[in-house]
Structure 1
């Protein structure tokens, strides 16, 4: 269940087609230190989805994305991870974690259900 105070973040990057399998292998067993750093800096429910054409879609929930990114940027493990991961991506403007293209949220089922329920409850109260 998603916490109502969380911000949902979805981002995209592009993995080089010739490196797809190696990228998948690297993410099958991410360094424990990296996993711990992500959790400690507020990255929750973090998932990556990779299409066969190289489109990488990331999703996470956090209280404050800018704060979570900044906290990760200060960790030594993130610097090592980003240095290694940068070889896998195309069209980077800096490190991978600085080049994510964040997509705007246009629909969320739980938010709309809650709004509809609230509106219906207001009708019955009147």
Structure 2
């Protein structure tokens, strides 16, 4: 399972509306994410608009392609695009992926029984 962490920048004047929209994501969008292989998906937002997202998937490219093939994702991405600064393309493909440099369970697993 791949752990994906990414960042985007929400326009500061749009933060409240962004949070409101994510408090009640469309049910068909939630279903599409789950069916497309996006698991344990969370978004974290700093007061200045820095958005950090995290999800787990078997295959990032396949999960993105599966979402791109859904009608609901096209509508959602078109509506969400306006919330972000310095974004090329759709938010679900234009994010900056962060490199994972530490994972507790992974390192504990290499140690064996303690």
Residue-by-residue CA offset, 1:84-122 (whole Å, 9 max, x unaligned): 00010000111111211001110000000000117x7xx
> Which sections of structure 1, spanning at least 5 residues, go unmatched?
1-5, 121-126
Larger Rg: 1
Within 5 Å, which residues of 2 pair with 1:51-66? 51-66=46-61
Consecutive aligned runs of 4 or more in structure 1 exceeding 6 Å deviation: none
TM-score normalised according to structure 2 size = 0.97
Count of aligned pairs: 114
* Alignment counterpart, residue 111 of structure 1, candidates 101, 106, 109: 106
Residue-by-residue CA offset, 1:24-82 (whole Å, 9 max, x unaligned): 00000000000000000000000000100100000000000110001001100000000
> Which sections of structure 2, spanning at least 5 residues, go unmatched?
none
Distance 2:44 2:90 in 1: 19
Q: Does the alignment pair 1:28 with 2:23?
A: yes
1:3 corresponding residue in structure 2 = none
TM-score normalised according to structure 1 size = 0.88
1:123 corresponding residue in structure 2 = none
Supply the RMSD in Å over aligned alpha carbons: 1.0
